[in-house]
Chain A
Amino acid sequence: MNKRNLTKGLSYLILFLGALIMLIPFLWMVDTALKTAPETVQTPPTWFPKHWQFNNFVLAFKAAPFITYFINSIIVTFLTTLGQLVTTILAAFAFAKLNFFGKRPLFLICIGTMMIPGEILIIPNFVTLSHLHLINTYGALILPWLASVFSVFTLRQTFMSISDELYYAAKIDGSSDWNFLWNIMVPLSKSSIIAIVILQIIGSWNSFMWPLIVTNTDNLRTLPVGLSTFTSDAGTEFQLLMAASTIIIVPIIIVYILLQKHIIEGVSKAGLKA
């Protein structure tokens, strides 16, 4: 073997070892989720369950209202993403192509708020929402996330890259601003918009601290919060905990595998812009 092949072989060895370490927790999760309770505490641990216990998923579903959590997560993720998409597209268009008083200062202020850690906002937002009597409602889960300065900033960059000539051409062709935005800008910025949507879906689906704080009943909890309360109930029933974890992880992994090209591109783009 020459030196070149040796380097290449070594690269692959390291990469595969790394990938294995990445995968083990997931495999171990599914593995445990399919075991019987005694088998989970067996030493040394087994990699292939002796009796596949698909029943664990049923038990987990029964032990806690995971279906409700699931539906809540879908509702919250869907409405947050949709709402944020609309506010983002409109605002990004104004910042990219329209002229108005106060454009620069307003934009700078918006950029400035990206510097502030989101954790600081939790307390006043909680206070605001409780004064609006919205704590423990869908409103509390959704409203604070309907605008994202980061998304506006990202999309504005994309919109700015669309040539002004195209804008003038459309104007001459008789298109209004509104028409131009939805007929030309949005289709042309498809990949950026998909990236924003996907990042928002992932963020929303996995969000934990905020829903933990603003919900206190099962019928409003999202999957991550539900799962965390379930841990105290399930105690050491690891096969049930892992089954529940699988339930929350699998949908997002399916989305990820279906859209991985967009996701990875989106993250790269957003990262390059930030």
Chain B
Amino acid sequence: MDVRFEHVSLAYANKQTNILTDINFKIPAGQLTCLLGPSGCGKSTTLNLISGLLEPTKGQIFFGDKDVTRLDALERKVGMVFQSYALYPHMTVLENICFPLRMAKMAKAEMLKRATELAQLVHVDAELTKKPGELSGGQQQRVAIARALAKSPSILLLDEPLSNLDARLRVEMRDEIRRIQKETGVTTIFVTHDQDEAMHIADQIMILNNGTIQQFAAPNTIYAQPQNLFVAKFIGNPVINTIALNDHHRTDFVKLVPKDILAKATTLAIRAESIVPINSVDTLTHPFSGIQLETYQFGPEVTTQIAYHGVPITSNQFNTHTWVNNQHPIPFELHKNGYFLCDSNDNVIWPLKEPLVVTR
């Protein structure tokens, strides 16, 4: 079922400022959508508005064609997985999965059958008689997902479900959630502050900041065509290089960018992975030069700091054999899609966008 927000705002009773301001979007059915943003951006708030745990101050929320704005969580039939898993510590795994079914007064035999199926789906069928305290974090997470799926929810909501797990397990569970979503086909909304996680798991990513939507698109679109500097900075690792343009930089770009756009541009953003040695493929046939400052190697990873017209930028595309002494001139090229120009409002004005394909 798709989820639609129309002019939704939220302010807490005793505070003047809005947490969310006039939000409009449509989350497509049957896909996995990530709400991504730094802490305090409004992503958990948005999730809670979808779940029905919060009620908007203004605006309407639709599930499909149905207005659910005034319905509570139960009536909206959502399933939810919490960051702390929120498993009932005194119940066994089986009892936890059964709990929503018991509340719905399902017949016992049917209930057990469904719970066992779900346990198989999330691979905890060997742990049914254990209590949550005896399980690892990943297993607890699996149980929480099974419980959320138990009542065949219209929408599955996951609130930072992986942030309590260690790094390796996080990758494993990320793929598991993706698999479970594909197998069940349930519309899934996933909140995270980790862009890498979002990039790997999502069909669609909604980036939020300061209570407004920055961009809502497929992961690759967001990476390749960020709407603004915030999105460009938030996505990608290492963080994109940003350069306040000076006249030297402008001179370098005169041949590449139309005059009127270059005149409006105030910031240049270049991805570290797009700063490459001369003669690489898929680059602008235009050499740049800088001064090599320092080079570090971390296992397979090499980062090189380059002073580009006095502004330090980072590249991770220079191999060890191109190392030279520090303070040495270093020529480089840029990937065609790896740099952006922003105007004074931080909106990306170059490259010009192909007309946006809106998914509604």
Contacts and interface: CB of A to CB of B under 8 A. Distances in A.
15 contacts: A163-B86, A165-B84, A168-B51, A169-B82, A169-B147, A170-B88, A172-B51, A172-B73, A173-B100, A174-B103, A174-B104, A179-B103, A184-B90, A188-B88, A188-B90
Contacts of A173: 99-100, 103, 147, 151
Nearest to A167: B86
> Which of the listed residues A163, A166, A173, A175 has the most CB atoms from chain B within 10 Å of its own CB?
A173
A191 to B, nearest CB: 12
Given A169-B80, A169-B147, A188-B88, 12 more contacts: A165-B86, A168-B53, A170-B88, A171-B53, A171-B74, A173-B99, A173-B151, A174-B74, A179-B103, A184-B88, A187-B90, A188-B89
A165 B88 contact: no
Contacts of A172: 51, 53, 73-74, 78-80, 100, 148
Interface of B: 51, 53, 72-74, 78-80, 82-84, 86, 88-90, 99-100, 103-104, 147-148, 151
Nearest to A169: B86
Given A171-B73, A184-B88, A188-B89, A165 B103 contact: no
A84 B74 CA distance: 33
B140 to A, nearest CB: 13
A169 B99 CA distance: 10
A169 B84 CA distance: 11
Interface residues of A, number: 15
Interface string A176-203: 0001000010011000000000000000
Interface of A: 163, 165-166, 168-175, 179, 184, 187-188
Contacts of B148: 172
Contacts of B53: 168, 171-172
Contacts of A168: 51, 53, 73, 80, 82, 86
A166 B83 CA distance: 11
Contacts of B89: 188
A244 to B, nearest CB: 44
Contacts of B78: 172
B82 A174 contact: no
A166 B86 contact: yes
A174 B100 contact: yes
Contacts of A188: 88-90
A172 B86 CA distance: 11
Given A173-B100, A173-B147, A163 B84 contact: yes
A166 B132 CA distance: 13
Q: 10 closest Cβ contacts across the A-B interface?
A: A174-B103, A169-B86, A173-B100, A165-B86, A165-B82, A172-B73, A187-B90, A166-B86, A172-B80, A175-B103
